[in-house]
Structure 1
C-alpha cells in the first residue's frame, strides 16, 4: 500500500513530466519550421516557413515584389530601379535600401552581407557570384531577352510562390491576358500588309535596336504591328558596351525597312527631322517618331510592366482611331492602381506616355554604384 508521502512524490514527478513534454513539442517545432522552393534552374532552396527576407538582383524583376504586395521582405535591391523617378514616387523608402547589385556581374559582397537576407533572387551571373563568395542561398531565375508572354507568366507565377502571394500573381496574369485580348479585338482585322512596322532606335545614334529574336517582336505583334527589323537577330554576337539582346544595326538597314513608326529613347523627334540620314523615312515624314515611355523601369526590357503597357502604348500610337473611345491615360492609371496598388494622377500617366519620367543609363548606374 502506497504511503501518503510516496503518493505525493509520484504525483509531482508525473506533473513535472507532463510540463516537460509540453516544452519539447511546441517550442522547438515552431522554431524549426521551413519550406522548400524549387527554383527555375531545378535547385532546391530551404527558407523559413514565413517571414523570409530577400535580395533582388535584376532591373525588371525588381518590380515584382511590389506587384505581389510583398516588398517589405526585400532587404537588398538593384541600383538601376532604385534610381528611377517613378519607382521613388511609388516607394520613397527604396532610396535608403542597400543596393549591392549595380549591373550584371557587379555585386558588392560586403554590402550584401550587411543586409543578411535569407536568400538572393538572381539570374545566372549574379547568382554564381553570390554563391561562390557567401553562404547565402540563391534562388535562380531563368530568363533572356528572347522571353515573351509565356515566359513572363511562368516567372510571375513562380515569384508568387516564392513570396507566398499566389493570388496576386494570378491577378497579374488575368490582367495581362485581358489586355492582350483587348488589343486582339481591336486590331485583328488589319491585313498583314497594312500593319504598321515599328523600329526601336536607342542610343545617341538611334541605331541600337531589338531584333526579331527578342521579346520586342512579340510585344509589337500583340499591338497589331510588326517589328521592322524582325529579320535581324540581335541576341547573337553581343556588341561591347551594350545590354544583352540590344545590338547596333546600320543606317542602310533602317533605310531598307523604312519603318512606319519609330521609337527613340534619346533626344527628340525634331532631331530626326533635321538629320539628312533620317528625314526621308516614312515615319519621320509623317511625324510618327515618339519618345519611348518610361515608368517603374525601362520599357525596352522584358518586365511585368512593359508586357502590359508597351503593347498598349504601341497600338495607341500606331492606330489612334481604333482606340479613340478609351483614353490611354485611363488605361495607364488603371494598370498601376490595379496591379501595383499605386494610384497615379492624369499628369503622372501622361508623363509615362510621353517618356518624360526620368530614366537611367548603365553609365549612371555604374558611377553611382
Structure 2
C-alpha cells in the first residue's frame, strides 16, 4: 500500500469516529465489544457495543426512544409519561415497566437496581442521585426550560448516536425544519404590532406561566405570535410546588397585558367567562381561550413533540384563515405516523387538538 493510501485510510477512520461520537474498542461480533459515548456534558461512558439497555429519566426526553424506534431497549422509565393516555395507546407495554423516577430529584434506587439498565440517561439532579447511590453509569443531557429549537436539534442528534439511530434522528430534525419553514411561509408577512399575543396560564389559578426567557417564547414566535409576558423572566428562581421554569404571576400582570389568546391546562375555557377576575379580558370576551393540547406528553415542556405541534396548533388558532387549505387534523396525523410510526385516526387527532387526551399533572406524579 502506498503512503498516500495509508494517509487516506487514516483520514477515513478518523472522520468516522468524529461523526458518530462513539468508539468501538473490540470487534462488534465479540460479546465483550464496547463503545464509548461522550455525553452532552463531556463525560465518557462505556457501553456494550450491541444490546445495551437504558433507563430514561425525564418527562419530555422519554418520547425520544420512540421517535428513534429504540424503545425496546428501555427497561426503566419515568412515571409521568407512563401515565399518559396516548403514550399507553402507542406502547401498551409501558405500564408494566419499572418507573423508578417520578419527579425531578425523586428516584427509587431499589426499583432502579432491580431494573438493572446498562446506563441511565438523565439530567443533572437525577443523574447525580444515580451516580451517588449505584454503580450504573449515567449519560448526562444538557437542557433547561430556556432552551429552544437549536437545543432540540442538538439533543435529538445526540440521542440518535446513543441509540445508533442517526437516520431517524435526522428525519425528525428535517421534519421540524420543514414545519418551521411552512409556518414562516404562512405567517412571516404579519407585522410585529399585528401579531397575536398569547398568555399561557397553568394550574388551578391559571396564573402559572412561562416567560420570555423560556422555550415558549420561541414556540409562539414560530407560530407568528408573541408571548404576552415576554418581558417577564420565570426561569430565575423557583417557587415551591412548581416545575422549574414555571412561576406564578399576579392577576394584575395578566390584566395589564390583556392577551389576544389565553391557553389553560386545567378546567374549561367557559369557566373563565363566569370568573369576575377574567371575564373582562378581550380573549375571554371573544372566545379565544383554549385548552392546552396533550399527546404522548405535556406540551408545556420543551419536547420533540411540542416543538413541532405546538407552534402549528397555535398558528391555526391564531390565524385560521391562513390555513384553510390544510386541515390541522391531517398535520397532526402525519406527524405521529411519520415521526413515531404511530398511525392515529381523525378522532385521536381531534382529541390532541382539543386537549381532551388523558393527562397527568405535576402533583399527581409527585403523589404517585
Residue number in structure 1 paired with 2:188: 188
Superposed displacement of residue 272, structure 1 = 0.6
CA distance in 1, matches of 2:271, 2:236: 30
Deviations 1:256-307 (A, max 9, x none): 1000000001111111111111111111111000000000000000000000
Q: TM-score, normalised by structure 2?
A: 0.92
In the alignment, what sits opposite 2:362? 362
1:166 Cα deviation from its structure 2 partner: 0.1
1:310 aligns with 2:310: yes
1:31 Cα deviation (Å)?
Answer: 2.5
Question: TM-score, normalised to structure 1's length?
Answer: 0.92
Per the alignment, residue 161 of structure 1 pairs with 161
Question: Structure 1: 5+ residue runs without aligned partners?
Answer: 1-25
Shift of 1:364: 1.4
Equivalent residue pairs, number: 343
Residue 14 (structure 2) aligns with: none
Structure 2 partner of 1:30: 30
Larger Rg: 1
Separation in 1, partners of 2:327, 2:234: 34
Which residue is 2:273 aligned to? Answer: 273
1:241 Cα deviation (Å)?
A: 0.6
**Residue-by-residue CA offset, 1:308-356 (whole Å, 9 max, x unaligned):** 0000000000000000110000000000000000000000000000000
Quote how far apart the aligned CAs of 1:29 are.
7.7
Distance in 2 between residues matched to 1:132 and 1:278, nearest whole Å: 48
Matched, 1:213 2:213: yes
Q: Find the counterpart in structure 2 of residue 233 from structure 1.
A: 233
Runs of at least 5 residues in structure 2 that lack an aligned partner in the other structure: 1-25
Distance 1:47 1:228, change over 3 A: same
Tell which deviates more after alignment, 27-36 or 97-106.
27-36
- After TM superposition, the structure 1 = structure 2 runs for residues 250-265 of structure 1, keeping only pairs within 5 Å, are 250-265=250-265
Residue 27 of structure 1 and its aligned partner are, at CA, apart by: 10
Point out the more displaced range, 270-279 or 256-265.
270-279
Which aligned segments of 4 or more residues in structure 1 are displaced greater than 4 angstroms?
26-29
Aligned-pair Cα RMSD in Å: 1.2
Q: CA deviation at 1:49?
A: 0.6
Looking at structure 2, the residues matched to 28 and 360 of structure 1 have their Cα atoms a distance apart, in angstroms, of: 42
1:185-214 C-alpha deviation (Å, 9 max, x unpaired) = 000110110000000000111000000000
Give the alignment of 1:169-180 within 5 angstroms: 169-180=169-180
Which residue of structure 2 aligns with residue 299 of structure 1?
299
- What SS does structure 1 have at the residue aligned with 2:46? strand
Alignment partners' CA distance in 1, 2:43 and 2:302: 24
Aligned counterparts, 1:64-75, within 5 A: 64-75=64-75
Residue 128 of structure 2 aligns with which residue? Answer: 128
Q: Which sits farther off after the overlay, 300-309 or 274-283?
A: 274-283
1:367 and 1:221 map into 2 onto residues whose CA distance is: 35
Aligned to 2:149: 149
| 2:202 paired with 1:202 | yes
Find the aligned partners of 1:259 and 1:288 in 2 and give their Cα distance: 10
Q: In structure 1, the residue corresponding to 2:209 is in which secondary structure?
A: strand
